[in-house]
Chains A and B, each alone.
Chain A
Amino acid sequence: MAGFTQRLPPPRTALLRSITDPRSTEVLDRGLVLWFPAPRSFSGEDSVEFHIHGGPAVVTAVLQALGSVPGLRPAEAGEFTRRAFQAGKLGLTEVEGLGDLIHAETEAQRRQALRQMSGELGRLYQDWSDRLKRCLAHVEAFIDFSEDELIEDGVLNRVDVSVSDLQAEIERHLKDERRGERLRSGVQVVIAGATNAGKSSLLNKLCQRPAAIVSPIAGTTRDVVETALDLGGFPVLLSDTAGLRDSSDLVEREGVRRARERVEQADLTLVVVDSAHLPSEVDRAAAFLREHLRSVLPDTDRCLLVLNKADLLPEKQRQKLDTELRGVSGLPAVRLISCQTNEGLKAFLTVLHSSVKTLCGDPLFGAPTLTQARHRAHLQRCAAALAQYQRYRDTDLALAAEGVRLAVTSLGRITGRVGAEEILDIIFKDFCIGK
């Protein structure tokens, strides 16, 4: 952070500063920084205040950067107030109702956590927590009992495997930052293709209103038309782009450039093709589409092929195409639709929904909250603690176990407290301890 690496700003003075991430040195925001040396601060301890822009992305980025500073952790419910109280900073009148405040805070948090916990994410964390507790119990059993009891050496090897699995899973979970971002700002879905393929019609169908001008004239859409929509609970930012063709028109050329730029940045591209342009021999269609895709976008990983104007094809060819193009190598999912008759639209929407869902990953609905940033911090701590296990595994099992303990405590702050008795219960269930 600005104040950390350089000189501390003068106490109790608001200064405009760039807030940078200490890891990447990336500038996250420009905001006010206030420094309150102890004891003249709210909690009586050294404090720093960051006044930053309220956008969720900025807040999350700053919280994440703070979480990467060693020794820094998110405050527990009501911790600031409690510390202030302990330091004698709050008078008795101010303290009245403090308990209620904290109660409300924890209640809200509990409800919030519960909401998140009941989904897939909750099950994931609970599963990690259970596995970690078991690891800890087995390491503790090995420490406390293996000299007198029959606890095979294999126990530790199994813990090794579990710990590295967990570490990898948690790190993978943490790394997938784009998912969270997609959830915050919406999945970027771009409609692209040749002129007059029906891109704007598709946009209007998807957002169920005439957001883009539709005309039979090729090149009607010249700029990017954006619209936000909710696709089965997932935020989607849908963009219609200018049809891709070489043009001498300066405005249209700029439109095409922007279209290509959008396609580059897209999370998902819907490549729209006019079915009437398909070769009449169905078996040549795949090769034609492959060729066509290459001209629209660099890689075919994240796109869907939409064959519009299906109503213009004879029924027989339509059916043949449908079976022929299913699961062809080198081609993404292909759907025949008609914006005119709504044919195939429902099936297409299902495919689109599942693609968006995959891109967003976990069903973390709603706006980003502090709780999420807190989760992230605890998970980071958890992963780091597991690294400590690996580091000391062969030289000092007490320090290695400390790593697993820290990991359990960190995760416990998300899923609930873990006590020594619970660990002992697992030990006595899993091993015959007795001399």
Chain B
Amino acid sequence: MLRKKLPFLHSLLSPVSRHVGHLTGHQYDVIVVGGGHAGTEAAAAAARVGAETLLITQKIHTIGALSCNPSLGGVGKGQLVKEVDALDGLCGRAGDWAGIHFSILNRRKGPAVWGPRAQLDRQRYRDFIQSELLSTPRLTMVEGSVEELLVTEPNPEEPGHHRVTGIRLANGSHAISARSVVLTTGTFLSGSLFVGQTTSPGGRIGDAPSSAGLSHTLRERLGLRTGRLRTGTPPRIVKDSVDLSLAKLHLPDSHPTPFSFLNTHTHCKPEEQLPCYLTFTTPGVERVVRESLQLNCHIQQDTKGPRYCPSIESRVLRFPGRSHQVWLEPEGVTSDLLYPQGLSMTMPPDIQLRLIREIPPMRRAEIHTPGYGVQYDFVCPTQLSPALQVKSTQGLFLAGQINGTTGYEEAAAQGLWAGANAARSALSMPTVTLSRTESYIGVLIDDLVSRGVTEPYRMFTSRAEFRTSLRPDNADLRLTPKGFEEVGCVSSVRYQESLRVRNSLQDALTALQALFLSTSSWKKKLPSVPISETKSTLLTGLDLLQYNDVTFEMLASAFPESLSSFMEFAQRLKIEAVYKPHCDLNKKEIERIQREENMSLPQDIDYFSLPVSLSDEVREILDRVRPSTLGAATRLEGITPAAVVNLLNYVRVTEKKKETHRNQRQQEAQRDEELCANSASLPQ
């Protein structure tokens, strides 16, 4: 499936970008602003759902660019990649195409927390994404800078509520109309770059800053609360100048595992994979950081940066006197550069050089591009619905760093979900939500919209309460059918494949349970397995598969007639068997949460005048966060059980009223029709 030929991108792309003028007056269903991980997934998902989609980005050739680290996946993040793939997104397949070093992290810690990860070839990744978008029906791409978001005047009946009508581009005054707009501006929203003591506007080195108009619309016209976050990237090092013999060699898995459920192998052959290298900081590094602090604007500011991906400055300041890890990662097959993971820094370039030369393999290293810091605006995500739509603005969706997250995978996941919902909203279909009980994407979105962020948000497996059920191996079972049947963002090819897998797994589990033998018979069949004979009970094949030392292969060779046809799923079956009892235990709790999540709280409730017994404190919290479901409300800090019951009561009453109202209207309509029919049939 990966054997497609990539077209000559630029010859295909240039006509698209030259004819902006033709777009004026054109009505799109969905406009996506931004061509990063969120934007590309959003545009592709919107088009898959069936929307006429336009992707606007500053430079067509940076679509799909990896701005920071040349890698995808990891613990928690790998789960997101698998889920995006299960919903037919791009990043999993792009990773399989561009990966040059695959490894499953946490291999020895249990399948629920395995972290599929790959080092990527930047060029290949970009090529794949661009080619994929070019071949996507209903998707147009255009170069441009968005100057303004077009919204209606607020409806007098609903003060503060707007509707998106399109965007206006900076060059000239082209207005392009759309029913939905997805903003994925990354670090470009009022972005500033920091190197040493110099600050310049921008979101990424080498790119123009985005116009101030967009932030203005969001803040002033729509009244959205924003905050400021920071991030950074390390200098890129010239590979030939590094003595890699002084670093520890780190090899990839000998059998690369693809991210995508559709791929059986990766584009890169196992033996063609490139290694990574591990090295450590020295006391000299800490000295350089301390000596240059006053030359380092970025680090002196108190804007919130992530605790888990800090700059080398924060690392040595927070944990002094330690040796910190630095990974030297390849940037691609033909690239001359290395990416020093762990050395994000913002001091002046000459001091950056001094710093890296304090690390033994880089004693004589040269810097190709210095590291820098970025500060940018984000929109407080509690103002979004679980469909990632701005609650006060119909048709406006946000995804990626603009929502306060960090990381490619987090961006891709939100992009896909925002794009699919933007399309559904534009096509007059109801928006859809993912529960935190069924996916990491659901956990991510629920955390964002119901708790908000105080630092750049990154996914960890520990955020998912039902981690043992939300495994990377079963993302297709969890999401692909829903993606096809309820969302419409999954192709029928993938859907059919997921059904085949689901049915085969079910058949295999049935076959395993049908093997019903006494312990002594099992002992005869599998002499090497330590089956306790003290209990003379009957055991099924499924019970046996839960034993540490028993593999599906062993059972299949003992019972070839009933099991050998399922060998393709040997690993998945083993995992299913081990986790089944735990997932069954989770089920009840999951059902309870889902019941509560199915009770939606109207978005226009005035919590301060609600005629139910709630404390002022609770009213204030509810008004600030505006949870969209009762489930989200129960998870808010400071919400008491009593408040939940009162809310539940209110929801029930209003639902009942609405229902009676609907019924009445239906009856009236029916009566009218009957009357009309009667009068028509009356003799003239």
What residue of chain A has the Cβ atom nearest to residue B467's Cβ? Answer: A398
Cβ 8 A contact of A435, one of B115, B327, B461, B465: B327
Q: List B contacts of A100 (CB < 8 A).
A: 613, 642
- A432 within 8 A of partner (CB): yes
A396 touches B642 (CB 8 A): no
Whether A78 touches B467, Cβ cut-off 8 Å, given contacts A396-B110, A435-B309, is: no
Whether A106 touches B109, Cβ cut-off 8 Å, given contacts A92-B652, A434-B308, is: no
Shortest beta-carbon distance, A325 to chain B, in Å? 54
Alpha-carbon distance between A193 and B350 when the two chains are bound, in angstroms: 94
Cβ 8 A contact of A144, one of B318, B461, B595, B641: B461
Shortest beta-carbon distance, A408 to chain B, in Å? 12
Mask, A424-435, CB within 8 Å of B = 1, is 100110001111
Whether A435 touches B342, Cβ cut-off 8 Å, given contacts A143-B109, A420-B463, is: yes
- B135 within 8 A of partner (CB): no
A99 touches B645 (CB 8 A): yes
- A149 within 8 A of partner (CB): yes
- A98 within 8 A of partner (CB): yes
Q: Give chain B interface residues in 507-552, CB to chain A under 8 Å.
A: 548
Mask, A64-99, CB within 8 Å of B = 1, is 000000000000111001100110000010010011
Secondary structure of the A side of the interface? helix
- A115 within 8 A of partner (CB): no
- B582 within 8 A of partner (CB): yes
- B468 within 8 A of partner (CB): yes
What residue of chain B has the Cβ atom nearest to residue A149's Cβ? Answer: B325
Shortest beta-carbon distance, B608 to chain A, in Å? 17
Shortest beta-carbon distance, A180 to chain B, in Å? 28
- B315 within 8 A of partner (CB): yes
Q: List A contacts of B110 (CB < 8 A).
A: 392, 395-400
- A102 within 8 A of partner (CB): yes
Q: Give chain B interface residues in 630-644, CB to chain A under 8 Å.
A: 637, 640-643
A147 touches B105 (CB 8 A): yes
- B369 within 8 A of partner (CB): no
- B12 within 8 A of partner (CB): no
B308 touches A103 (CB 8 A): no
Mask, A404-435, CB within 8 Å of B = 1, is 00000000000000011101100110001111
The tally of CB-CB contacts under 8 A between chains A and B is 135
Cβ 8 A contact of A78, one of B108, B308, B637, B641: B641
- A276 within 8 A of partner (CB): no
Q: List B contacts of A144 (CB < 8 A).
A: 75-76, 113, 460-462
Q: List B contacts of A146 (CB < 8 A).
A: 106
- A402 within 8 A of partner (CB): yes
Shortest beta-carbon distance, B11 to chain A, in Å? 39
Alpha-carbon distance between A100 and B614 when the two chains are bound, in angstroms: 10
Mask, A128-162, CB within 8 Å of B = 1, is 00000000000010111111111000000000000
Alpha-carbon distance between A99 and B645 when the two chains are bound, in angstroms: 6
What residue of chain B has the Cβ atom nearest to residue A402's Cβ? Answer: B468
- B554 within 8 A of partner (CB): no
Alpha-carbon distance between A419 and B461 when the two chains are bound, in angstroms: 14
B582 touches A148 (CB 8 A): no
A92 touches B653 (CB 8 A): yes
Shortest beta-carbon distance, A311 to chain B, in Å? 64
B460 touches A434 (CB 8 A): no
- B324 within 8 A of partner (CB): yes
Whether A140 touches B111, Cβ cut-off 8 Å, given contacts A92-B652, A98-B649, A432-B318, is: no
Alpha-carbon distance between A419 and B646 when the two chains are bound, in angstroms: 24
Cβ 8 A contact of B112, one of A92, A398, A434: A398
Whether A428 touches B325, Cβ cut-off 8 Å, given contacts A85-B648, A399-B112, A423-B462, is: no
Mask, B646-684, CB within 8 Å of A = 1, is 101100110010000000000000000000000000000
Nearest 10 Cβ contacts at the A-B interface: A396-B110, A398-B110, A398-B112, A103-B642, A397-B109, A432-B319, A99-B646, A140-B462, A147-B105, A434-B310
15 contacts between A and B (CB under 8 A): A85-B648, A86-B595, A106-B640, A106-B641, A143-B113, A148-B325, A150-B323, A397-B109, A398-B461, A398-B468, A420-B465, A434-B309, A434-B342, A435-B341, A435-B342
Q: Using a CB–CB distance below 8 Å, which chain A residues touch chain B?
A: 76-78, 81-82, 85-86, 92, 95, 98-100, 102-103, 106, 140, 142-150, 392, 395-402, 419-421, 423-424, 427-428, 432-435
Q: Using a CB–CB distance below 8 Å, which chain B residues touch chain A?
A: 74-76, 105-106, 108-113, 115, 307-310, 314-315, 318-319, 322-325, 327, 341-342, 451, 460-463, 465, 467-468, 548, 578-579, 582, 595, 612-613, 637, 640-643, 645-646, 648-649, 652-653, 656
